[in-house]
Amino acid sequence: MDINKDLVAASATPLVLAILAEADSYGYAILKRVSELSGGRLEWSDGMLYPVLHRLERLGYVSGTWATSDVGRRRKYYRITQRGREQLDAQRRQWQTVDAALRNVWSVLAAHATPDLLPQEC
C-alpha cells in the first residue's frame, strides 16, 4: 500500500523523535527502525530522513555528534533533547486525538454501511 506523501511527512517528526527517545541512533539505523515499526509498510530513503534530522537539529529537538562506530565507520549519532521530548509529548497527544477522531468516523461509516451489505427484502 502506498502511503500519501503528506501523511508520511506529517508523521516523520514524531516517528524520529520516538525512535531517538528509545536510544541514540544514526541515519541507517533510524531507517531500519522505521521499517521495523511499520511492519515494512514505511520505507524511507536517505533523501527523506536527513532533511528531517537537520530540521530537528535546527529546532533543538535533537543533537548530533560525530563518532566512530565499533566497526570503525564515522557516523553522526543523534540524541533527543529535553525540548525534543516535550515536542514528542505534544505530538503524541495531537496524534492520539487525530487517531480517536478517525476511529470514530470509521466506526460511524461502518455502521451506516452495514445495512447496504444485508440482503434486500422483496
CB atoms within 10 A of CB 88: 20
Which pTM value belongs to this model?
Answer: 0.86
pLDDT at 93 over 70: yes
Q: What grid cell was written down for 15?
A: 516517528
Confidence band for 82, pLDDT divided at 50, 70 and 90 = very high
Cross-strand pairs, 25: 78
- Say what the pLDDT of residue 119 is: 55
Nearest to 76 by CA among 100, 93, 57: 57
Q: What percent of the chain has pLDDT over 90?
A: 83
- Say what the pLDDT of residue 122 is: 46
Mean residue pLDDT across the chain: 92
